[in-house]
Structure 1
């Protein structure tokens, strides 16, 4: 609830300033946190692929070994899709970011989402898996979204400019 209140304040602040790009950015942040920090688990995996190596710690299930064959399932790819729009919004809002900063933002996105799940598991029994693969796929989605935005801007004759402050 506290995180949602914070996102709401930022959405309203930018709405009042008619800074629509930032409104979309903060709504995207809100949506990602709602998808990943609520006690609802989705499973799109397949039992036929094998077992995923897990550990129990801090009230939750942890996946610390990346890219095991059983972990590359539909949910793996949906994590990329989930964060792709945030990468587009990142590049659209801050077009002058260096690519190292975009890569860092993608990594920070993945770590924040999974870290929030770890904290939620420890304090309120959120029941979510904390998965290194999600960090990687969230990072990939943000970076691919930013790349797509940059390519459209470059070859689609669409100009990226910083939003008014």
Structure 2
């Protein structure tokens, strides 16, 4: 049960942020917090899903209660989970650009990097505090960032297309 504590506490944070924005009429921002909650559910719970792959061929080490991968783009690490990590953060990029339509690639990159570092940093912290049992992987930072950038670029293209149709 203690391994679920980080996700439960973070969920309470997301709920409070959603309620705050609801009261202030910032409904578009609620989608961002709901996306954060979804990413928290995928990365900060003690439930890890593996899709096969060559885990034994990835150079990693044990530190602070978890397995760390600090060498990016090892051939064995570019598997289905690599591509799914990109896909899982595309919605956050869509939402970011929807909420901040004046922002462009530098802000997308910062939002993506913040997303990836927050998710992996949370896994590292929670591995240390409650033995969450999740991998802390530099590839996930890269793929999460890329997913946000791709999502934001898609939304920008949709916004431009919509503007030309008016």
TM-score if structure 2 supplies the norm length?
Answer: 0.89
Aligned length: 158
* 2:16 paired residue among 2, 5, 9: 9
* 2:89 paired residue among 83, 96, 105: 83
2:135 corresponding residue in structure 1 = 129
Contact 1:60–1:122 (CA under 8 A) maintained in structure 2: yes
Gaps of 5+ in 1: 160-165
* 2:31 paired residue among 12, 24, 28: 24
The CA RMSD over aligned residues, in Å, is: 1.7
Q: CA deviation at 1:17?
A: 3.6
> Is the helix fraction higher in 1 or 2?
2
Q: CA deviation at 1:50?
A: 6.4
Distance in 1, matches of 2:60 and 2:79, equals 16
Gaps of 5+ in 2: 1-7
Distance in 1, matches of 2:106 and 2:92, equals 17
